[in-house]
Structures are given as structure tokens and as C-alpha cells.
Amino acid sequence: MSIEVQPDSPGSEVSPAEGVEVRERGAQAVSLGGRRLTAAEGTGLARGALGHWGVFAQGLAAAAPSVAIASVPFSLYTASGKGAAWAAIVGLVIAVLIATTIGYQARRTVTSGSLGTYTGNGLGPGFAFAAGFSLLLGYIGFATTGTLGGVLYVDAFLEEIGLGSQASWFRLLLVAVVVGVGVYLPLRGASLAAKYELIFEVVAVAAIFVIIVASYVSYGWRIDTEQWNPSNLGHSSTFVAAVTAVGAYAGFESVASLGAEARDAHRTIARSLLRVVLILGVLYILATYPQVLHFNGIDGDKAVLPQLADASHVSWINPVVSAAVSVAFIVFVTAVTTSAARSLFTLAHEGALPQVFAKVHPRYKTPWVGVVFVGALALVFAVVATFSSAGRLVFDVYGGYVATWGFLVSYLLVVIATPIWLYRIKALTPARAIVSGLAIAALGYVIVSNVYPVPAFPFSILPFVFLGILAVGLLWYAYLRVARPEIAARVGSIQTLSTEEQERLADLGILEVLDEEAPGHRTVDR
């Protein structure tokens, strides 16, 4: 069909009560909440680069089930002891609610700005920046901690085959190699990385499950009732651990940052969100319980799975697991670096961050400056952790916990914003309101439980470490509001409404459709 759009003067609106306007400045323009939108596919990134499996692989790699199975159960155990399995279940329930809520927007509009853009639809540009910046911190945090995890497992693999070394120069060399690969693949493009991500994840998970099954068998055919005791749900430590459990799913929403590059983006992204979460949930619950059975005596400066394999009498699988997880960690780094670079790109393209981050590689059509920037931060973090007295694994746990707060804050903002936006565009149903409400309540409860009662040190201060970093970003946005209000108002404006959504809005009278062409009108085929 064709929609004929009447040019209006700057600032004019159509159906102000619904917060939607149509403008003509040489091309069709639709705005939400009084803000003109920029088409996601028109920002210079490679269009149509990823199909359904590519988008799914990006979400799976960014959430990294093999990486999570290798590290998250120990993180949950560190925070909550025998309550780790319940923490994993709480994390799954929350992740499903979040994914479903995000999907309500993804079916209607896609973007390269991910949750920041979706938050802005309901709460405005200030909250769009807060959510986008929080998510950016989460991606950068995971890129850095993932680099360190990759170093740990590459180190473990080399030790298994007799090529390991504890020399400082050797550890630094491993850091450089992991960072180098983690930067190169995203630089070449999301489609290249996606070709290998799914294969490596399947191989890594299959190898890890040899250890998981052995853990069940070596413990004996009996149930550890202490782990499944419902009283664990009454302990604040379980919900402290649930932050990390939700973080195990963090990255699934990265598929929403591919709106400019995915084919059939509205359908593909919405479906991939929930599918990734459900697959991850099954894997995490199956893996957490048996690992906790063997966590006494774990060395905090060495990779967990090889130690678990030794305790379960399947040491022969260690070289395979270490090699597979090493590659999976690197794939994970490439996936979150891909997402972080697109978050930087979107905020820069909207003017909220330095324009250098909006540069696109002339050949690969990737936001290469953002990729290199994230790689540099990962390099610094991994080098500092390598020489930390706390141990690289513990350093990794604490860094991941801080990064997870970036996802929690962004998730909370987007699940609050989504029902508001759906109401404004007359798409809010009772079922959608209930799902969004439950997501808000669950996330809110987990967040409050992580600050009151006050958890043990250092988990008592880590949320404030994140808030301190976030405050710096919010101060920058406050400066933009004063000095460059037109830039501040633009945050969250890069998105593309689906054809079906445009038609629905037009039928409702929210989007103005003219019955006949007049001078100065422009016809746009859809």
C-alpha cells in the first residue's frame, strides 16, 4: 500500500493526545512523543546482514550459556551457598517476564539502540539515556570480565596439554590474544561472528554436560534436600545471588540492537528474545544443582570446570572442555562487544556521545571505533586483574556482579516504559499489563533485596560502585539538557516502525493518512 504524508511545519503535530506526529523534510518522518524518528536502517550499518539464525546466534552468544555454566554457578554459590539453585530459578522467571515485555515493543519497532530506545518510547529521552547508558555499562563490563574468563580457560587448556606457564609475560600474552580476537571479529561484522557462534556454543555445552552428568553420577542417586529447601527463598542472600542469575541471561536482549542489520527484523527479533531465554533457563537449572554439590575446596584463582571434572572423576574431558569453553568465552566477548559498539554508535549518532563513536568502517559497515574502545577497556581490566591479589576468578565474579547491575537498571526501566507506550498507542491489553506488572514487581523485589537487608561485604558496596559510574553518565546528560537541549531530546529517536504497526496506527487515526495526493505531498510505498 501507499501512505501519502502531508508536509507540516516544524513542530506541528498530528493527534497530539496520542503523542504521534508526521512530518515531511524530504522524506517520510514519524515521531513518537513529539520526537522525529530516524530510520534504524538508514544510519549506515550493513542492511539485511543477518537472518533468523544469525540473530538467534548473536543473542545466544551474548548470553553465552557455556560461559555461564562455567562461571555463574560458582558466582551464585559465592553469594548464597546452598540457595544457588533457587537463585537460578528466580533468575529464569524474571528473564522470561522481561523477554516477553521487550517483545511487545520489538514486534512493533526495531532499533540499533536496544533497550534505551524502547525505554524512551514510554518515559522520554532522559530515561532513554539512563537505560541506554546502563546497558552500555553492562555490555562493557561483560566484555571485560569475559576477556578475563577467556584468559582463565585458555590458560587451563594450555596447562592440560603441557604448554601452560605462570610467568607474568605469558599471562599478559594470553590477555592480548583474547582481546585481539574479541576485537577482530566484531570489526569484520556481526554476520561473520554469527557463523561460528552457534556451532561453538553447541560444542562447548555438549562437552560441559559430560562433566555435569558425571557430577550427578558421582554424588549418587539421591537429592540434596538442603539445596531445594524452600526456606532458601527467605534468605536475602538468595536474591543477592539472583542478580547474578539474571545476569546469566543478560545479553539475550542484544538481539534488539540488530534492528538495522536483521532481515525481517520485527518478527525475527521478537521471536529470538524469548527462545534464547527459555533455552538458557533449562541449561542453567540443569547445570547449577550438580555443580554446587562439589564446590567445597574450589581454588578461586583457577577455572572451575576442570576442578569439577577432577572431583567427578572425568578428568579426561578437561582438554576438550577447556578448549571449547576458551573459544566460547572469546565468542562471548565478540558478541557483547558487538552490542556495546552499537550502543555507543546509536548514542553518538543521536549526538549524546562524541561523534567519533558514530564512525562506520568503510568496508565492513561496522562501528569500528566503538569496537576498538571496548577492546581497550577489556585489555586494561584483564591486565589489572592478572596482577590482583584477590585472584582472577574472584575478580571476575565481582566485576560481573557490578556489570549485571547495568542490565538490571535497564531492564527495570524498559518494563516500566513498555506498558506506558502500549497504552499511548492503544495496544495495551490486560495480559500485556499483567506480564509487564509482574516483571516490574519481580525486578523491583530483587533490586531491593540486594540492598536491604545489607548483604555481606563486598556485595554491600558493589551496587554503589555501579551507581557511581552511572551518575557520571547522568551528569553528562544533565549538561546536555542545559547546553544542547535539542541533542538531549533526540536520544532514543533511531527506530523503525513495522509496516503492520504503521497501518494499525493509520487505521486508528493516530497516523494521518490522506485519501488523495495534493501538491507538496509525498507518496511512500510500504
- For residue 466, pLDDT over 90 is answered with yes
pLDDT-derived band at 105, boundaries 50, 70, 90:
very high
The percentage of residues in the chain with a pLDDT greater than 70, rounded to a whole number, is 82
Q: Could you confirm whether domain 47-493 is CATH 1.20.1740.10?
A: yes
- Tell me how many degrees the CA angle 404-469-145 measures, rounded to the nearest 5: 40
Supply the DSSP string of 109-124, one letter for each residue. EE-SSHHHHHHHHHH-
480-524 pLDDT tens trace: 999 999 999 988 888 888 878 877 877 776 654 323 333 333 333
Contact 273, 99 (CB under 8 A): yes
CB neighbour list of residue 297: distance below 8 Å, 6 or more residues apart:
none
Q: Alpha helix (H) ranges present in 113-227?
A: 114-123, 125-160, 168-188, 190-219
Cβ–Cβ contacts within 10 Å for residue 23, how many?
Answer: 21
What pTM, to 2 d.p., does this model score?
0.79
Q: What is the mean pLDDT of residues 332-360?
A: 88
Please give the grid coordinates belonging to residue 100: 516477553
Better pLDDT: 465 or 18 = 465
Q: Of 136, 149, 422, 96, whose CA–CA distance to 279 is shortest?
A: 96
Q: Provide the mean pLDDT of the chain.
A: 80
- In this structure, the chain runs to a length of 526
Q: How many CA atoms lie within 13 A of 83 on its CB side?
A: 21
- Tell me how many degrees the CA angle 300-402-456 measures, rounded to the nearest 5: 65
- For residue 526, pLDDT over 60 is answered with no
Please give the grid coordinates belonging to residue 121: 518510547
Supply the DSSP string of 258-296, one letter for each residue. GTTTBTTHHHHHHHHHHHHHHHHHHHHHHHHHHHHTT-T
Break the chain into its structural domains and give their ranges: 47-493
Please give the grid coordinates belonging to residue 152: 582463565
CB neighbour list of residue 315: distance below 8 Å, 6 or more residues apart:
306, 309
303-324 pLDDT tens trace: 778 888 888 889 888 888 878 8
Query: Whose grid coordinates read 544533565?
Result: 478
Residue 372, Cβ density class (10 Å: 0-12 exposed, 13-18 middle, ≥19 buried): middle
Q: Of 209, 208, 210, 192, whose CA–CA distance to 153 is shortest?
A: 208
Q: Give pLDDT, residue 7.
A: 36
Q: Give pLDDT, residue 16.
A: 33
110-145 pLDDT tens trace: 876 678 889 999 999 999 999 999 999 998 888 888
